[in-house]
Amino acid sequence: MNIKKGDKVIVTTGKDKGKSGVVERAYPAMDKVLIGGINIKKVHQRPRRSGEKGQIVEKSAPVHVSNVMLVDGNGKRTRVGKKVIDGKKVRIAKKSGNAI
């Protein structure tokens, strides 16, 4: 998976197409990423203590990594490649060739 926590991404498909945000968490086993403010779902929450009411809370749900693209330093979406520079594997933006 080429997208990691802290990367700025843009959504390419679905109801949130065109929106961008920062990856808060990555789930490599499921090939999904959690982006703040994207793919909002309503979750019913049970009362925790007696006398308290249950409530409906809005939460961000994970998005499949194939539905997002990394945003380059220029603000445009780009694919991600890998290159060995000085003995280290580095992610590069395919559009500009800059290291990420």
Q: Give the mean pLDDT of 70-98.
A: 89
Is the pLDDT score of 98 beyond 90?
Answer: no
Indicate whether 73 pLDDT > 90: no
Q: Is the distance from CB of 46 to CB of 58 less than 8 angstroms?
A: no
Residue 75: pLDDT band with limits 50, 70, 90? confident
Domains of the chain with bracketed CATH: 8-73 (2.30.30.30)
Helix (H) or strand (E) holding 89: strand 88-93
Query: Following DSSP, what letter does each residue of 10-77 receive, concatenated?
Result: EE-SSTTTT-EEEEEEEETTTTEEEETTSSEEEEEE--SSTTPPPEEEEEE--EEGGGEEEEPTTS-E
16 contacts 9 by C-beta, under 8 angstroms:
no
pLDDT score recorded for residue 74: 82
* 87, two tokens: 């003995």
Residue 68 has pLDDT above 90, yes or no: yes
Distance separating alpha carbons of residues 11 and 19, to the nearest angstrom: 6
Residues 6+ apart with CB under 8 A from 40: 58, 59, 60, 61
Q: Does 99 have pLDDT greater than 90?
A: no
Rounded to two decimals, what is the model's pTM?
0.82
